[in-house]
């Protein structure tokens, strides 16, 4: 149900934003016409889906649920990756990569801690070698690499 | 020069040291990607696109195509050894392949997979060689209305056969089309929905969406699992014998050939061809078998047929990509993106405009298939060791690889945020049973669909009649309507059947 409502709203926002663009005519369509049609189509499809869900009154069957999953871990994972992304420019690639690996393995509870440290160090070093040295990809160096 | 002449010149391109190296690299990486459960060909190709930026277009596509069909080979390994399909097209292989492994016949099962895949791949490439040029000539007669209707047909068929709800898949396709409108308007050049962000002028980077929806979401999906699942030790069975007997080869030859034919045909139509082809092949083999009761107990035909079908479908899927410029499945959609990044615009003119690339890639497929055969027969037990890496270490490594690979594409921080957002979206989509494939396909094809739509309207002076007045376009639209109404017909037929049964 939540997803269908979100998609309906997304369609509505698309329609509103499209109307702010030139629509043109069918003969010479403006840049807003195609997204406008798509926005309306998405709203229509989402409305149909909502109606079907309401009629069935059984939205739970639509959702994959498992009592044993750890949503906390997923949130922590996303948080750690977001933090690493934010720190990529100031800290540089190799340090952010090390911290990211360390944080993710800590979240997953990798033990002993020495293994966690060694794997993080080796993997960060290897990926630096692979991407920066071998593939010559300009990854951020950070304040300490300047 | 005829097709064979061009193919010979293609071998000249494919056998340079550089291209041989990238073909080998693609095959090896693809095999590993296929072996790792979850990380399928879509995420694998998307992750490796940045690594091809320093290469010329031919070498890049040779490597990426190698990853695609390499992943198809590799996917069977985990199916047979631990009953976990490396990618969706290997699900059918689990049924009899794992039973063979339990009886100590993992070696012959894997060898039959490799031989069947080689046979299918090689025959399907022959089909590609002889079918692509005439199809390209025919496609030259296609105008914008035909391309528009064909793309709509592709979306609807893909949405109908991905397994989930048709309505949900259609919503995902429309969502992908909307996301595809972000950036410069392909006709007028006006910015749309960029909110003043220069980095969005080029549109939403499809690699970010692909890695997010398929790579990050997969990692998150695994991260939520309880410790005992993540810590489960993978037991790779012992290889009592490595090679198949002559009897095994004899029993599997027919299944392989039938699988090749089925796979090749199914690969030409829109949808997740390898998955459908493996299912169709398994059902066919079971139906025509002298001892159908052996299926599910370790029948070698149940391994040979689906694996051959899978690889043939994977190779023939290149035909619509190269000839029409329209990918019918997500992995080829990613390859289309890679071609565009490298400045190659696939379509009816591609064979004439880029003969080196087209024939070089086709020839490299032969070489790639041979490499995979040589690689898979003796080294499979070695590759299987990758499964011993604990998931708790593997997941963070895949996440780092996603992040690094994505940043390498444009060096834009915004792409990383988009990828993360798509990762979270992909995770939620899995929870709510929404398919990612229609979204991705629509995102890649969106700008082409819009151009075809607007050009058609320009040609017809604003009349929608152009889509039904042109016979080819009409056929595609009728077929689209048929596919849309198919679930309704099924429902009506079922209720009529029930009513008839009640009356009688």
Average pLDDT for B72-99: 78
pLDDT above 60 (res B72) = yes
Note which residues in 130-189 of chain B have CB less than 8 A from chain A: 167-168, 170-171, 174-175, 177-178, 181, 185, 187-188
Contact B400 A139 (CB under 8 A): no
Q: Which of A33, A52, A70 sits opposite B224 (nearest CB)?
A: A70
Average pLDDT, chain B: 85
Residues of chain B with C-beta less than 8 angstroms from the C-beta of A89: 413
Residues of chain B with C-beta less than 8 angstroms from the C-beta of A131: 404, 408
Number of CB atoms found within 10 A of residue B381's CB: 17
Nearest to B80 by CA among B60, B103, B110, B51: B110
- Which residue in chain B has the smallest CA separation from A79? B420
Q: What is the ipTM of this complex?
A: 0.90
Number of CB atoms found within 10 A of residue B91's CB: 17
Please report where in the chains the tokens 């024939």 appear, as a residue.
B359
User: What are the pLDDT tens digits along chain A (146 aa)?
Assistant: 889 999 999 999 999 999 999 998 888 889 999 999 999 999 999 999 999 988 886 555 555 555 566 788 999 999 999 999 999 999 999 999 999 999 999 999 888 889 999 999 999 999 888 888 877 778 898 887 66
Give the per-residue pLDDT at A43: 97
pLDDT above 90 (res B163) = no
User: How does pLDDT run across B410-464, given as a tens digit for each residue?
Assistant: 788 999 999 999 999 999 998 898 988 889 888 888 888 999 999 999 999 988 9
Local structure of B504: helix, strand or coil: coil
Q: Which residue has the higher pLDDT, B181 or B84?
A: B181
Residues of chain B with C-beta less than 8 angstroms from the C-beta of A97: 400, 404
Give the per-residue pLDDT at A86: 95
Contact B454 A29 (CB under 8 A): yes
Residue B475's pLDDT band, with cuts at 50, 70 and 90, is very high
From CA B61, how far away is CA B77, in angstroms rounded? 25
Q: How far is B16 from chain A (nearest CA, A)?
A: 20
From CA A25, how far away is CA B432, in angstroms rounded? 38
Average pLDDT for B223-227: 86
From CA B472, how far away is CA B464, in angstroms rounded? 15
Give the per-residue pLDDT at B351: 84
Average pLDDT for B393-404: 88
Residue B498, Cβ density class (10 Å: 0-12 exposed, 13-18 middle, ≥19 buried): exposed
Residue B477's pLDDT band, with cuts at 50, 70 and 90, is very high
Residues of chain A with C-beta less than 8 angstroms from the C-beta of B188: 30-31
Q: Which residue has the higher pLDDT, B280 or B376?
A: B280
pLDDT above 90 (res B130) = no
- Which residue in chain A has the smallest CA separation from B224? A70
Give the per-residue pLDDT at B91: 77
Residue B52's pLDDT band, with cuts at 50, 70 and 90, is confident
pTM: 0.80
- Averaging pLDDT over each range in A41-50, B188-197, B218-227, B242-251, which range is the top one? A41-50
Give me the DSSP letters along A39-69.
Answer: HHHHHHHHHHHHHHHHHHT-GGGGS---TT-
Task: Tell me the helix, strand and coil percentages in chain A, rounded to 5.
Answer: 75, 0, 25
Average pLDDT for B21-37: 85
Give B12's contacts (C-beta < 8 A, 6+ positions apart): none
Give the per-residue pLDDT at B323: 85
Phi and psi torsions of B347, nearest 5°? 165, -170
């Amino acid at each position: 149900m939540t997803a269908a409502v979100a998609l309906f709203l997304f369609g509505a926002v698309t329609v509103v934003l499209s109307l702010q663009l030139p629509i043109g005519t069918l003969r010479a369509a403006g840049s807003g016409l195609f997204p406008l049609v798509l926005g309306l189509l998405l709203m229509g499809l989402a409305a149909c889906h909502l109606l079907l869900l309401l009629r069935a009154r059984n939205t739970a069957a639509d959702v994959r649920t498992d009592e044993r999953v750890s949503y906390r871990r997923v949130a922590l994972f996303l948080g750690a990756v977001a933090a690493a992304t934010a720190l990529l420019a100031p800290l540089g690639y190799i340090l952010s990569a090390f911290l990211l690996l360390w944080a993710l393995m800590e979240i997953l509870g990798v033990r002993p801690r020495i293994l966690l440290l060694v794997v993080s160090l080796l993997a960060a070093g290897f990926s630096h070698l692979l991407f920066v040295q071998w593939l010559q990809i300009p990854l951020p160096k950070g304040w300490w690499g300047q | 020069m005829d097709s064979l002449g061009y193919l010979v010149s293609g071998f000249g391109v494919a056998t340079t040291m550089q291209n041989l190296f990238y073909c080998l690299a693609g095959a090896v990486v693809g095999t590993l990607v296929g072996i790792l459960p979850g990380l399928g060909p879509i995420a694998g190709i998307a992750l490796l696109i940045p690594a091809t930026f320093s290469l010329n277009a031919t070498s890049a596509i040779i490597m990426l195509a190698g990853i695609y069909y390499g992943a198809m080979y590799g996917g069977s390994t985990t199916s047979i050894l631990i009953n976990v399909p490396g990618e969706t097209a290997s699900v059918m292989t689990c049924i009899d392949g794992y039973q063979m492994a339990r009886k100590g016949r993992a070696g012959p099962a894997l060898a039959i997979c490799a031989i069947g895949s080689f046979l299918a791949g090689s025959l399907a490439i022959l089909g590609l060689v002889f079918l692509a040029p005439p199809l390209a000539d025919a496609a030259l007669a296609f105008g914008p209305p035909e391309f528009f209707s064909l793309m709509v047909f592709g979306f609807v068929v893909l949405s109908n056969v991905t397994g989930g709800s048709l309505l949900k898949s259609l919503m995902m396709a429309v969502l992908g089309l909307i996301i595809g409108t972000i950036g410069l308007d392909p006709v007028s050049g006006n910015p749309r929905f960029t909110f003043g962000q220069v980095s969005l002028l080029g549109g939403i980077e499809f690699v970010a969406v692909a890695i997010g929806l398929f790579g990050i979401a997969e990692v998150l999906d695994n991260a939520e699992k309880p410790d005992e699942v993540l810590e489960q030790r993978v037991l790779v069975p012992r290889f009592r014998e490595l090679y198949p007997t002559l009897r095994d080869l004899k029993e599997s030859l027919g299944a392989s050939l039938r699988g090749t034919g089925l796979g090749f045909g199914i690969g030409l139509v829109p949808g997740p061809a390898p998955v459908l082809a493996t299912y169709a092949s398994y059902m066919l083999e079971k139906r025509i078998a002298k001892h159908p009761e052996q299926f599910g107990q370790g029948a070698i035909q149940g391994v040979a047929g689906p694996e051959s079908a899978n690889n043939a479908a994977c190779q023939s899927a290149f035909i619509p990509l190269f000839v029409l410029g329209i990918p019918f499945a997500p992995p080829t959609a990613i390859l289309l993106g890679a071609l565009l990044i490298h400045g190659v615009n696939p379509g009816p003119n591609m064979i004439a405009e880029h003969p080196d690339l087209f024939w070089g890639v086709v020839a490299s497929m032969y070489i790639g298939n041979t490499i995979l055969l040589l690689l898979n027969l003796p080294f499979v037990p070695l590759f299987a060791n990758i499964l011993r890496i604990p998931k708790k270490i593997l997941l963070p490594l895949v996440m780092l690889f996603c992040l690094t690979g994505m940043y390498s594409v444009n060096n834009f921080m915004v792409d990383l945020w988009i990828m993360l957002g798509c990762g979270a979206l992909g995770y939620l989509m899995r929870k709510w049973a929404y398919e990612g494939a229609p979204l991705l396909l629509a995102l890649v094809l969106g700008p082409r669909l819009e151009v075809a739509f607007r050009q058609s309207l320009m040609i017809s002076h604003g009349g929608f009649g152009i889509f039904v007045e042109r016979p080819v376009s009409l056929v595609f639209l009728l077929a689209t309507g048929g596919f849309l109404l198919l679930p309704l017909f099924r429902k009506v037929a079922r209720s009529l059947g029930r009513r008839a049964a009640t009356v009688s």
